[in-house]
Structure 1
Amino acid sequence: MTVDDTLARINEGVQLHHGQGRPEAARDLFAQIWDEIGGERGDPLHVCVLAHSMADVQEDVQQELVWDQRALAAADLLTDDRVARAGVPMSVAALYPSLHLNLGECYRRLGDLDRAHECLQRAQAGIGALGDDDYGKLIRGGLSRLTQQLAHE
């Protein structure tokens, strides 16, 4: 397994955001990487992971939605072989519950409850691809929260 330098740099941005509480710095790094990889024309794995991460540092929910949509579109172009070659310890199918969860949360915050419910259903349909690890528990917990929030709206 070789180290994917682009994924390592994206992870640096994630650490800036989550580890150090510096979303602006993360956003700047993500924007730089986005330009370097060629934007949406880049390697689908890089586009997916970067867009997924960039969505998390947006202050505007509409912009967050745009980035989440980019991540989902890129995931549709991924193969398990490409993910494995990058050293990512999961299948492409295991990405979808998180991607749909994030989209559902954006739609909920925008007041588009029908789309939020659709995304929640898609996410729930794919949870069988998740492992019984921290990532799987994180996504299942998010789905549970979104289900509760939508039940009260």
Structure 2
Amino acid sequence: MEQIIAAVELGRTGDRETARHRLTDLWDNSTDSQERCAIAHYLADLQDDVNAELEWDLRALECVQDDGWLPSLHLNLADDYRRLAQPELANEHLEAARERLPELPEDGYGQVIRAGVGHVADALRAGSVQPLASNPST
């Protein structure tokens, strides 16, 4: 996990390309499902194209072992599908994220996910396909 966290920090400080390469290498060399879920989840946030982001978010969902990832994964998928003008799929994943909200802690992480659900829901209602400021990939 230390290597994953280090790569994620690179991406957060602006070196998205190096972060993508490091996480992709980690993905290629990992066999642990939970580790692969984390790698794919973070790789999705480092993509410049929404289709690539969707692909990594779907990979993360396939690997998930810990239900604690599900609110965030479904939120990300809802936003991916919203930006791809697929509101039905966006709403399905938004509802799946909402169903998991009671399981979230009342901390900063829980607040971020709850707020994200609200932002994506508002954008869906407005018919927007524009990236949201709250999206980690922007």
TM (norm. structure 1) is 0.81
Unaligned residue ranges in structure 1 (runs of 5+): 1-6, 79-91
Offset at 1:128?
Answer: 1.1
- The aligned residue for residue 8 of structure 1 is 2
Larger Cα Rg: Structure 1 or Structure 2?
A: 1
2:108 is the counterpart of 1:134: yes
Residue equivalent to 1:124: 98
Cross-structure match for 1:25: 18
Residue deviations 1:94-127 (CA, integer Å, cap 9, x gap): 2111000000110011000100011000000011
1: CA distance, partners of 2:56 / 2:94: 18
Measured after TM superposition, the shift of residue 43 of structure 1 is: 0.8
In 1, the alpha carbon distance for the partners of 2:84 and 2:126 equals 15
State how far apart, in whole Å, the 2-side matches of 1:68 and 1:119 are. Answer: 12
**Distance in 2 between the 1:103 and 1:13 partners?**
22
Of 32, 37, 54, which residue of structure 2 is paired with 1:43? Answer: 32
Deviation at 1:60, TM superposition (A): 1.2
The aligned amino acid for 1:22 is: D
2:2 aligns to what SS in structure 1? helix
Letter in 2 for 1:28: H
Q: CA–CA distance in 2 between the matches of 1:95 and 1:53?
A: 12
| Matching of residue 95 in structure 1 with residue 69 in structure 2 | yes
Q: Which runs of 4+ in 1 moved over 3 A?
A: none
Residue 129 of structure 1 and its aligned partner are, at CA, apart by: 1.1
Alignment partners' CA distance in 2, 1:93 and 1:54? 19
Counterpart of 1:149 in structure 2 is 123
- Asked whether the 8 Å contact 1:104–1:119 carries over to 2, the reply is yes
Matched, 1:66 2:55: yes
Task: Work out which of the residue numbers 70, 78, 82 in structure 2 matches 1:108.
Answer: 82
Give the CA RMSD over aligned residues.
Answer: 0.8
Equivalenced residue count is 127
- Write the letter of the residue equivalent to 2:57: D
Identity of aligned residues (%): 38
